[in-house]
Amino acid sequence: MKRITLAIAATMLMGIAMPAFQAARAQDIPEPSQVIKDNDKNGDGAIDKAEWAASPAPIPFPEEADTNHDGKIDLAELTALFAQFQGGGAPPPPPPAPAPAPQG
């Protein structure tokens, strides 16, 4: 019975997730290598903070993605960052405010 319930739940989840996945693909999200190619103005194979600021990136320079702390995002770091976001690894939203104590 549990297997049938899990199978039904998985099928329903896929029905919900697939359109979202297809919509993300439809946005023409570039590959990390293309992002480097388009934005690496000094040709060092990475995007530094100035290059990132001049790029159309929708987020500020991701300090946490600069794992070797050289002030640049290289292909490996950018690939890992993309994987984090595509895997739902974006930073979590803040927790909801606690409910007020009951008056009474």
Cα distance between residue 101 and residue 82, in whole Å: 42
DSSP notation for 28-72: TPPPHHHHHHHH-TTSSSEEEHHHHHHS--SS---GGG-TT-SSE
Cα angle 40, 41, 45 (rounded to 5 degrees) comes to 35
Q: What is the pLDDT of residues 15-70, one digit of tens each?
A: 554 455 555 454 678 899 999 999 999 999 999 999 999 999 888 999 999 999 99
| Between 7 and 30, the higher pLDDT residue | 30
Query: What superfamily would CATH give domain 31-86?
Result: EF-hand (1.10.238.10)
**pTM assigned to the model:** 0.58
| Between 36 and 3, the higher pLDDT residue | 36
Domain boundaries, the chain: 1-28, 31-86
